[in-house]
Structure 1
Amino acid sequence: MSGPTPGADDARSPLPPEQLPHVSGPLTGTPDDVPPPPRQNVFIKELLRGSAVTTILAIFLAMVVGGILIAITDDDVREASVYFFARPGDTFVAIWGAVYGGYEALFRGAVFNPRGADFAAQIRPLTNSLGYAAPLIAAALGVGLAFRAGLFNIGGRGQMLIGAATAALLTFNLDLPMFLQLPLTLAAGIAGGAIWGGIVGLLKARTGAHEVILTIMLNYIAFYLVTWMVRDTRLLQRPAGDQPISSPTPGNAQFPDLLGPAFPLLDWGFVVVIAATVFVWWLVERSSLGFRLRAVGENPHAAQAAGISVQRMYIYAMLFAGGLAGLAAMNQIQGSVVSGFDGLIDAGIGFNAITVALLGRSRAWGIFAAGILFGALKAGSFSMQAQGIPVDIVLVVQSLIVLFIAAPPLLRTIFFLPKTDAEKAAKARAKNAKKRSEQTEEKAVSA
C-alpha cells in the first residue's frame, strides 16, 4: 500500500506545505487546537449562574408580582379600568400611583422615612427592621445548621416556647444585679431551647425516628405545656392576675437599647445575634465539628464509613439548633415583649425561620441577610397597611421569593440565563433516554 505521490500534492496545493497557514478549529483541528473562551466570558457566565444573581432576580420577580396584586386590589385602578377603552391613560396612571405608592410606603416604613421631623425619626424605620430581624435570624440559624447536618428542623416554635418558659421559671424571681441577671436569663433560655432540641436529636439517634414527626409533636407539647404553665399561679402566671400570661420580664433582665430610647425596637439583643452568626459561621465552615456535621449532611453512610459518629452529630446539631431557637425567644422576652408572654410568644417566628433559612441557603451570612430582608418587609408592611394595602400582599411577596429561590431553572428560563452543568447533563440524559426509547419502539414495530 503506497502513499500519495508528491506530484499529486503539488497539483492540489499551489504552495508547498511549509508555506501554508496553520488551520485550526472544531472542524479542521484537534480539540487541543481550539482556543479557550475569553476569561471575561467565563466570569460573566459563572456570575449569571451564581446564587447571588438568582436571589436578586427572585426578589425582583416577586416584587413585580406583588405590584400586580397591589394594582388589582387598588380602588382607583378598578374605577379607572371601567372606562379603560375611552381613556386608557387614566388606568395606567392609577396603576403607577398604586404600585409606586405601595412600594414607597414599604421603603419609608422599612429603611428611611424622608417625612420624619428629625434625623432620628427618619432612620427609625431601619432600626425597626433590624429589631424585627434579630429573632428571625437567630431561629433561622438553628434551622440552617440542622439543614447542613441533614436534619429538617421544624421545631423552632416548641424550642422557643420552652426556652422562654425555662428562663422565666429559673431567673425571673432572682432579683440580681443586671450584670448577673441579664446573662443568666439569656443562658437559661438558650439552655432550655437546647434541651428541647436535644430531645429530638437523641430520639433520632437512638431510635431512628424521623425528626419532622418528632419536632411537630414536640411543638404541640410545648405549646400546651406553656399554656398550662401561664394559667397556674404556682408556675408562670403573674401574681394577683386572672389572665393566662406570665409575669413581666424584670427590668434588670431586659436588653438595654442599643442606640437610645429614640429607637426602642433595636437593643443589644441584635449584637448578640451578630455574635451568634459569627459563631455559627465559624462552627460550620471552619471547625472540625462543623466538618463532621457537613459530612453527615452530605452522605451519612460515607461519613459512617469514614469513622464519624452519625448519631452523635445528630444530637450535636439539634442541641445547637434548639439553643439558637432559645436565643430567638430571649430576643422576644428580653427585648420586644417584656410585659409578659403566653403560648403565642413565638409569633410565627419558628415557622418563618424555615423560610429565612431556605432563602439564605443555610449559610450563616446568607441567613443574616435574608433575616434583615424579612425584617424590613415586616416593618414596611405597617406603612403599606396604613395606605389601605392589604398586609397579606407582603406575605405573598415573601412566599414568592422563596418559591423562585427554590426553583432556579424557572428563573433561568424566564430571564434566559445560562444553564448549569448539572442541568445540561440532566437534559442530555433525558434526551438520550427518549432517543433510546424511540429506537426500542422502532425495533419492536419492525419485528
Structure 2
Amino acid sequence: MPTIPFSQIRAGMALASEIESPDGRYRLPVGTILADSHLKWLRGWRIRDVEVTPETAGPAATGGDPPDQPGTPEETIRQRFSHLPADDPLVAGLLNLALVRAEPLAAVRPARPPAAGREPLPPVPTPEAILAADPVLVSLPEVFMRIREVLSDPGSTVEEAAAVIGKDPSLTAKLLKLVNSSFYARTLRVSGGLPPGAVDTLSRAVMLLGLNQLSTLAMGVSVLPLFKDIPAGCIDMRQFWRHSVGVGLVAKLLAVRINDPSPERFFVAGLLHDIGRLVLYKQVPAAAGASLAAAAASGRLLVEVERELFGFDHATLGGMLLRKWRFPESLEQAVWRHHAPASGDVPLEPSIICVADMVVGALLPGSSGERLVPRLDTAAWKTVGLSPADLPDLVETAEAHFEVICAMFA
C-alpha cells in the first residue's frame, strides 16, 4: 500500500492502516474515507506519513463520504441517534451532550464490519450448544472456582477469601489497583466507607468492600483472560473493553446514587454485560460477522439483527453463561435482561445496566460492535430515577476516571 507524506494527503483518500492518536484514546480504523475534519485531527496528532489504498492514492476522490461515514463529526453523531425519538427529553439531553463531544466520539467508531456475503448463513447452534462446545468456558480458572466456593459458603472468613484470591498475583494486583483508584475513593467516600491510607492487602480490601463485594469483583475480573483469542477480524478488543469498562463505571455510579448496599456487582455486571458477544465472536465468527455486516448495511440495532438471524441475542447468551458459571443470580439477571429489564421479576438490576449502556453508547468511547446508540427504555430510566438534568454530572464523573480504569484492564 502506498505511504504518502501528510502534506500530500487529501480528503477522499481511504486509510489502508489504522491510525491512533498519540495518547491512544482515539483512532481512525482501516477503510476510513478521510474528510477535512479527519485531516485536522491528523495534523493535531502530528502524523507525518499516512498509508492509503492504491485506488485513492492518486487525485483526491470526489463525491464525499460513503453513507456509513458522514463527512463531519456532527453528522456521525446525529446518524447514531437517528433511530431514537428526537422529541424525548432524555434523548435530547444525551444528543446535546454528545454534540459537545462530537469530534472525540466520531473518531472512535466500531471496526468496519466484514462485507455481507452472498452465501446463506449456516444454521447457528442454540445458546446451549454454543456454550457446551467451548472447553475453555467449561474448565474455568481454578481461582474462579475457589472464589465461587467462598462466595457460596456463609461461614467463609476474610482470611480465607484473601488467601484464595492471593493465589493469583495478576488478579490480586488488579483488585488492589482498582480499590486504590480515585474512582473507588470517590464512591467509598459517598457511601461513608473510605478509610485513611492505602489499601495494601487483600484482607483490608475485603474488610473495606465486604466479603461478597470483593469476591464478586474478583470473579468478574478473573474470567476476562478467557477471551484473549477472539478473531481480529470480528471486533477491536481494545474498544470492546473500553465500552465494557465505561458501562461498569456508570452502572456503579448509578448504584451508589440510589444507595444500593452492594454496588460492586453493578460494576461487574457492566463489565460483563456484552460477554455474550464475545462468545459469538469466539465460537461462531462467521455468523457474528454476518450480523455486524447486516446491522451496518440496514442501519438497524445489532441486537435486533442478532434476534432475527440467530433466534436469540447476546444478552441471553451472556446470561446463560453466567448461570452456567453460577454467578450470583442478581448479576446473571442484570446481564440477561439488560435489553429488556421489564421481562424479569426484579427490574432494578437490569434497568441500571440498560441505562448505563445507553449513556456510555452515546457519550463515551468504545464499542462492542454496536454502531448505534442503544434504544431508549423509558421504564428503565424511571426505575433508575435519572433525569436529563442529572446527565452532565454523571458523565463528567465517569469521564474523570475512565482512562485510568481502562488502563487497568489493558
TM-score range, shorter-chain basis? Answer: under 0.3
Higher RCO, 1 vs 2 (CA within 8 Å, ≥6 residues apart): 1
TM-score (normalised: structure 2): 0.25
TM-score (normalised: structure 1): 0.23
Max Rg structure: 1
Higher share in helix: 1
